[in-house]
Structures are given as C-alpha cells and as structure tokens.
Amino acid sequence: MPNYICTTCGVQYAESDGYPVEVCTICADDRQYVRASGQGWTTLDELRHKHHNEIRTVEPNLTGIATVPGFTISQRPLLIQTAEGNVLWDCISLLDDVTIAALNALGGVDAIAISHPHFYDTMVEWSRAFHDAPIYLHRDNEPWVMRPDKSIVYWEDDTHTLLPGITLIRCGGHFPGSSVLHWADGADGKGVLMTGDTIMVVADPQWVTFMYSYPNSIPLNKAAVQRIADAVKPYAFDRLYSGWWDKVVPHNAADVVQRSAERYIKAISD
Ligand SMILES: [Zn+2]
Ligand SMILES: [Zn+2]
C-alpha cells in the first residue's frame, strides 16, 4: 500500500489503502490551508519522475538541499557536518538515489532534527535511507505526526543537546514545539542559528519576523514573541538561516532577533 504525500504541505502519511484522510490534517489546521482546487495527493515515486534535488554548499561544513522545480513551499533543509557526526536539519518530500549518494559522499546522515510539522515531509524515508537515523522531534508536536515510526525520538523540556556544539532549542510560537538549532562552530566559530520558520528572515535581512501562520497572516502575541527572543538569547550566533535559500541574516543575527522582537511587540501593542 502506498504512503500518500499531501501536495500542499508535502507531509507523507502512514501506509493506506486509498487516500489516508479526506483532507490533510496538517493543511486543515488554521496555520495552513487547503487549495481552492481541493485536496491533492502524490507519492514519492511520482515526485521522483517530476523533480530532482539541488544540493549546494552554503558555508564550510554546511550543505543545503532543495527540490527543483519547487514542490509545496520549496524549503531548503541543511546538512551539518561535524567530527562527531552529521545532522540533517529539517526535511523535504523528495528523496532519490542521487541525493542519497551526494549526502553519503559528505559522510551521510547520523541524526535528523526537524523544526516543526510543516517540514516533517518524508522524514521516515530519509531515516530509512541513512541506516535508520534517529529523527528528533519535540514532544509537543507529536499530535501532528502523520507517519509514526520507531525511528522518531521525542525530546522534551526546552533544550536538547544533539551532539557537542549542536543544541535544539524549543521556542514555541508557530507550533507549541517549534524549535531552532544552534550550531556553535558555524560561521567560522561565531555561531549559527537555524530557524525554519520559527524565526523568519524578511525582505531586509537585517530584520526577522515571527508568525502563527504565514499563509493566513495570523501574528503571534506579545508573550509568544518575547518567549522566542528569550529562548535564543543565551546563545551566541552571528548568522541565521531560515528555511529557504535566500532567507539568511549574514551577520549580527543575535542582535537582529532581539531588535526585531522589540519592533514586533511595539507594533502589536496598544
Ligand atoms: Zn497537507
Ligand atoms: Zn510552518
């Protein structure tokens, strides 16, 4: 039986005889949407025929992977190479032999960590392709896991050390378990923060924003924004990567986050 993939959010479901649900659970949520044309489904095999992945070095020991032509919201996960092992941060739906070979040439994937349910995609396929690599998800996002699997490791609390110098930080906001990844050795040792869409770089990369829903333009409240800013404050980072190729704060990113939170809170306050 196939594992169907939602064509709007890219999330793959557990095996089913026929479509798994009438409307995708992730897309029915008020953070997402169902297309006017209705619910669509595809499979990994179908995706492999129509798309391929672009794999590009982003900075030393950091590689981006994104699907071409774009599928769903065209996010760009990142592979971090460290002496203790490689971590895949976030995920996409398309996984093919070329991608597996390219990542194996970089040392493979030892662990997968994903910011939030919109990027769970085909995470179980990725785990299987790389020796059942554990998939680290925050426990608070468990209700949005559409393909439960033994490779999923739920972490709890507000931080989780994945490897030396690699820390997952729960920020909340967009989802209760929305998380970011701090890589201490990134940006020439000045530190990198990878944020998915928990913290999103805006048109001017000297600013970021924080939203409950991007497609539906629903903001977060003051407490939620302050909590995100406070969660990352203890960490040193010069650069910030949101979940897309062009969404990067190249320098002074820790300051950018704090000042953007202040600007945001001012804008939504009476
Ligand atoms: Zn969906
Ligand atoms: Zn999202």
User: Per residue in 38-83, pLDDT tens?
Assistant: 999 999 999 999 999 999 999 999 999 999 999 999 999 999 999 9
Q: How far is Cα 247 from Cα 240, in angstroms, rounded to an integer?
A: 8
**What CATH number does the domain located at 5-268 have?**
3.60.15.10
24 CA to middle of ligand 1, Å? Answer: 5
Q: Residue 189: is its pLDDT beyond 90? A: yes
Ligand number, closest to the Cα atom of 5: 1
27 CA to middle of ligand 1, Å? Answer: 4
116 CA to middle of ligand 2, Å? Answer: 7
The tens digit of pLDDT for each residue in 84-101 reads 999 999 999 999 999 999
Edge-to-edge strand list for the sheet holding 159-163: 159-163, 166-170, 179-183, 192-196, 239-242, 248-249
The tens digit of pLDDT for each residue in 136-176 reads 999 999 999 999 999 999 999 999 999 999 999 999 999 99
262 CA to middle of ligand 1, Å? Answer: 33
Q: How far is Cα 187 from Cα 37, in angstroms, rounded to an integer?
A: 43
**pLDDT score at 105:** 98
223 CA to middle of ligand 1, Å? Answer: 28
Ligand number, closest to the Cα atom of 118: 2
| Residues bordering ligand 2, an ion, CB closer than 5 Å | 118, 197
| Displacement of CA 34 from its chain's centroid (Å) | 20
In the predicted model, what is the mean pLDDT of residues 210-235? 98
Q: Residue 270: is its pLDDT beyond 90? A: no
**pLDDT score at 201:** 98
139 CA to middle of ligand 1, Å? Answer: 20
72 CA to middle of ligand 1, Å? Answer: 9
**pLDDT score at 110:** 98
Ligand number, closest to the Cα atom of 22: 1
What pTM was estimated for this model as a whole?
Answer: 0.97
Determine the 3-state secondary structure of 95 from DSSP: coil
Tell me the DSSP string of 222-236: HHHHHHHHHHHTTS-
For 205, residues 6+ apart whose C-beta sits below 8 A from its C-beta are: 247, 248, 249, 250
Q: How far is Cα 245 from Cα 268, in angstroms, rounded to an integer?
A: 29
**pLDDT over 90 for what percent of the chain?**
99
**pLDDT score at 11:** 98
Mean pLDDT (the chain, rounded): 97
Tell me the DSSP string of 7-75: TTT-PBPPP-SS-S-SS-HHHHSTTS---TT---EE-HHHHHHH-EEEEEEEETTEEEEEEES--TT--
Ligand number, closest to the Cα atom of 121: 1
62 CA to middle of ligand 2, Å? Answer: 22
Q: Which amino acid is at 124?
A: V
169 CA to middle of ligand 1, Å? Answer: 25
In the predicted model, what is the mean pLDDT of residues 27-32? 96
Dihedral sign, Cα of residue 7, residue 42, residue 139, residue 243: negative
**pLDDT score at 222:** 98
In the predicted model, what is the mean pLDDT of residues 176-198? 98
**pLDDT score at 112:** 98
Q: How confident is the model at residue 133 (pLDDT cuts 50, 70, 90)?
A: very high
164 CA to middle of ligand 1, Å? Answer: 35
- Residue pair 241/192 in contact (Cβ under 8 Å)? The answer is yes
Q: How far is Cα 10 from Cα 90, in angstroms, rounded to an integer?
A: 13
Ligand number, closest to the Cα atom of 8: 1
240 CA to middle of ligand 2, Å? Answer: 17
In the predicted model, what is the mean pLDDT of residues 113-140? 98
